[in-house]
Structure 1
Amino acid sequence: ERLRPEPGDILPKDGARITGFRLSLFKGMGAGRGNAASGFIHSVDEAVDRFLSGVVVPLDRRPARRPQRAEPTPAG
């Protein structure tokens, strides 16, 4: 939720390739979750799908960052 305004904030500043990430979800496990194992697996699958579609896919669509040029130093 906190990454939606600017998903680019999770990209490495030096343009390094992302090789992994950790997804944390804080969610109540109410009484209506069904079978404990299948309910947990379903909620993890759902969270990963939401993260992929809401954060990763929009990042893939973004144009590559241009390399930043160093500020010219005054001659003198």
Structure 2
Amino acid sequence: MKVILAAVALTALASSATAFARTPATHATVPAAHAARWVPPYGTPVAGETRAEVYHDLIRAEQDGQLKYLDATLYAHS
């Protein structure tokens, strides 16, 4: 009984091992020049802003009413 069980297990192991023996799919590699820096679709690089600049823009938008206007018009339906 143990011999038959061992033979069945060995057969199952041998038949399932071929599923893992495939060569991995080739992936397109990104050239090093493109991987270092992302460029938006229109080709002009985006200048980053610091947290202080973003916070300053937020305060200015609150003070001049831009956020209130956007909340009333653009985001009113959500």
Flag whether TM exceeds 0.5 (same fold): no
TM-score (norm 1): 0.34
**CA radius of gyration, larger in:** 2
Provide the TM-score with structure 2 as the length reference.
Answer: 0.34
Bigger share in helix: 2
